[in-house]
Homo-oligomer: A and B are copies of this chain.
Amino acid sequence: MADPTRDILETFPNPYPQRDYSIETVCPEFTSLCPKTGQPDFGTLTITYVPDQLCFELKSLKLYLQQYRNHGAFYEAVTNTILDDLLAVTQPRSMKITAEFTPRGGIRTNVVVEYSGSSTQRH
């Protein structure tokens, strides 16, 4: 099965670029496969962003996320990859993704990644 691709993401023009405002999108039906065991993982993604010129279209976001259904991915990597893809496609003023995964082995993990508008990359 092909790797998930950001090409599937569609955008539409921000109807109100002259104002900073935020959009929060909650996706409680995210599922991928554990690359070590092949077992399914389940989680809820919460994407919050301040759009600049573009907003992502919800139906295409849904199809984009469904690409992970049969794709092996570690929690930390998949969350960072989704942020990278959404940044590349919408170039927002800022964006944050919180991924809450359901418990495995009695342990529950959340990952929070954020792009604050200026570079937070370490060199």
What is the minimal beta-carbon distance from A91 to any residue of chain B, in angstroms?
14
Interface size on A, residues (CB 8 A): 52
Q: Is the CB of B74 within 8 A of A21?
A: no
Chain A, range 41-58, C-beta contacts under 8 Å to B: 42, 51, 55, 58
Q: Is the CB of B109 within 8 A of A20?
A: no
A69 CA / B20 CA spacing, docked (Å): 27
Q: Is the CB of A15 within 8 A of B122?
A: no
Q: Is the CB of B16 within 8 A of A109?
A: no
Across-interface contacts of A55 in B (CB, < 8 A): 76
Across-interface contacts of A24 in B (CB, < 8 A): 109-112
A109 CA / B103 CA spacing, docked (Å): 15
Across-interface contacts of A39 in B (CB, < 8 A): 66, 105
Given contacts A27-B106, A58-B105, contact A40 B18 (CB under 8 A): no
A14 touches which one: B21, B28, B76 (CB < 8 A)? B76
A108 CA / B89 CA spacing, docked (Å): 20
